[in-house]
Amino acid sequence: MEFVIEFINIRKDFKNKTILKDISLKINKGELVAIIGSSGCGKTTTLKMINRLINPTSGKIFINGEDIASKDVIKLRRNIGYVIQQTGLFPHLTIRENIQIIPKVEKLDKANVEKKTIELMEMVGLSSDEFLDRYPTELSGGQQQRVGVARAFAINPEIILMDEPFSALDPITRVQLQEELIDLQSKLKRTIVFVTHDMDEAIKIADKICIMNKGEIIQYDTPENILKNPINDFVNEFIGKNRIWSSPEFIRAKDIMIDHPVTCFKNTSLLRCIEKMRSSKVDSLMVIDKENYLLGITTAKEIQNKSDRNILVEEIMNTKFINVKPDDSIIGILETVKKHKIGQVPVLDDKGVLKGIITKSSLVTTLSSQFLDTEEVK
C-alpha cells in the first residue's frame, strides 16, 4: 500500500524518562489522522518528530520511503506545513508578512506569492482587503487560527501537521473551522496529522484516529471501527458510553439486522409456510432460491386470506419488495421504513443475495439499547 509517513519502533527518552515507547505507525497519503490522548501522553512529541523539531532516541521515520534522519532539515520542512496551538503568528509582522514568510525565504515570484496569499485568505474565509495589513493582535482568536491554517498551506506542502489548532476557540467558531477543514481537505487531499484532546472533533474530521496513552498507541483505526469495536476499557472510557449515538450515520444495516431470517423455497405450499411461521414464531417468510437470492416475501396475513392452502408460495409472494444494503445507515433505513409503512425490510447485497432482515422490533431493540446501557451504568 502507498503511504507517506511511517514510524518504525520510535522511542523517545527525555533525561532518563521514556516518553514514547516503541511507536510504529503508518499514515496513508491524503488521509487526515487525528492523534488523541490525555495531556502528557506524547502527542506533540510524536508530531514534532515528523518535521524533526524533535529527534527520536531510537527508531526510524520514513516519508515517502526516505529516512528523514538523512534528509536536509530545511528541505524536509519545505514540504511540511505546521500549525501550532495559539497560532504561532509573529506579532511584529502583518498578516500578509506572516503568510508570506516562508514563500519569501524560498524566493518565490513576488506576484505569484501575492496572488496565492489572496487565494489562501479566501480559502479560510477572511477578507484580504480587511485583514492583510493588520497585525495578529488586531484579529480575534478565531481569525488568527484561520491565518495560521492559511500560512500552513502557503508553501503548498504535501504534509500538514496541526497541534490542537482549534482548542482555544469557542465552540461555534471551532465547529465552523472544523467544517472548513473538512471542506478544504476534500478538495486538496493533503496528508494531515492533527493532534486533539477532543473525541468529537476527532470523529468528525479524521479518516483515522490514533489513540495514545502513556507513550503508546492503544488503537489506530477509522472512527467507525473505534466506536464499534473499542479495543479495551481504556478506549471505551475514552470514547464514552453510547458515543455511537452522536454519529448514527455509522450504525449500518449489517450491525442491526437479524442475520438468519426465516426462509423458504418458492415451491413450498402455503400450508407448509404457515407451519414454518408458527414453529419459528415469525409472521413473514423470505422466499429464496438455492443461491440465497431473494425472490419474494410472503406474510401470514396474505396467506390467511387464501382458502386453498395447497397452492405454492410463488403464486402469491410479493416480488416487488423494498430492500436496503448492508452498509446503509440507520438514518436512511428509518426513513425507508416510515415512507413505505413497512414492518420489515430485507437486507440484500449488490447482487440481490439475502443477508438479513431488519424488523420493527430489531430497530426498537437497537434504539432502546442506548437507554438500557445508561441504566446499567447506574
Ligand X SMILES: Nc1ncnc2c1ncn2[C@@H]1O[C@H](COP(=O)(O)OP(=O)(O)OP(=O)(O)O)[C@@H](O)[C@H]1O
Binding site for ligand X (CB under 6 A): 14, 19, 37, 39-45, 197
Least separation in angstroms between CB 221 and ligand X: 20
Least separation in angstroms between CB 43 and Mg ion: 5
Least separation in angstroms between CB 142 and ligand X: 20
What residue 42 binds from Mg ion, ligand X, none (CB within 5 to 8 A, per partner kind)? ligand X
Of 165 and 356, the one with the shorter C-beta distance to Mg ion is 165
Least separation in angstroms between CB 136 and Mg ion: 21
Least separation in angstroms between CB 174 and ligand X: 17
What residue 40 binds from ligand X, Mg ion, none (CB within 5 to 8 A, per partner kind)? ligand X
Least separation in angstroms between CB 231 and Mg ion: 23
360-377 helix and 330-340 helix, angle to the nearest 10 degrees = 130
Left, alpha or beta for 80 (phi > 0: left; psi -120 to 50: alpha)? beta
Query: Which three cell numbers, joined as nine digits, stand for 267?
Result: 415451491
Which amino acid makes up residue 210? C
The answer to whether the CB of 261 falls within 8 A of the CB of 371 is no
Q: How far is CA 228 from CA 102, 107, 212, in A?
A: 43, 50, 18
Least separation in angstroms between CB 364 and Mg ion: 44
Which amino acid makes up residue 176? Q
What residue 14 binds from Mg ion, ligand X, none (CB within 5 to 8 A, per partner kind)? ligand X
Query: Which three cell numbers, joined as nine digits, stand for 168?
Result: 482555544
Of 44 and 178, the one with the shorter C-beta distance to ligand X is 44
What residue 5 binds from Mg ion, ligand X, none (CB within 5 to 8 A, per partner kind)? none
Of 94 and 167, the one with the shorter C-beta distance to Mg ion is 167
Of 84 and 282, the one with the shorter C-beta distance to ligand X is 84
- Strands of 159-163's sheet, edge to edge? 80-83, 159-163, 191-196, 32-36, 208-213, 216-221
Q: How many residues does the chain have?
A: 378
How far, in Å, CA of 294 to CA of 4, rounded? 44
Show contacts with Mg ion in window 44-103 (CB under 5 A).
Answer: 44
Of 48 and 174, the one with the shorter C-beta distance to Mg ion is 48
> Which residue has cell 525565504?
105
What residue 185 binds from Mg ion, ligand X, none (CB within 5 to 8 A, per partner kind)? none
What residue 51 binds from Mg ion, ligand X, none (CB within 5 to 8 A, per partner kind)? none
Of 25 and 333, the one with the shorter C-beta distance to Mg ion is 25
Of 36 and 256, the one with the shorter C-beta distance to ligand X is 36
Which amino acid makes up residue 347? V
Of 39 and 279, the one with the shorter C-beta distance to ligand X is 39
Least separation in angstroms between CB 42 and ligand X: 4
Q: Which H or E run contains 166?
A: none
Query: Which three cell numbers, joined as nine digits, stand for 69?
Result: 534522519
- Strands of 17-27's sheet, edge to edge? 17-27, 5-14, 58-63, 66-67
Show contacts with Mg ion in window 8-47 (CB under 5 A).
Answer: 44
What residue 103 binds from Mg ion, ligand X, none (CB within 5 to 8 A, per partner kind)? none
Of 27 and 345, the one with the shorter C-beta distance to Mg ion is 27
Which amino acid makes up residue 302? E
Q: How far is CA 204 from CA 34, 200, 234, in A?
A: 10, 6, 21
Query: Which three cell numbers, joined as nine digits, stand for 88?
Result: 504561532
What residue 45 binds from Mg ion, ligand X, none (CB within 5 to 8 A, per partner kind)? ligand X
* Percentages (nearest 5) of helix, strand, coil residues in the chain: 40, 25, 35
Least separation in angstroms between CB 119 and Mg ion: 30
Query: Where along the sequence are the contacts to Mg ion (CB under 5 A)?
Result: 44
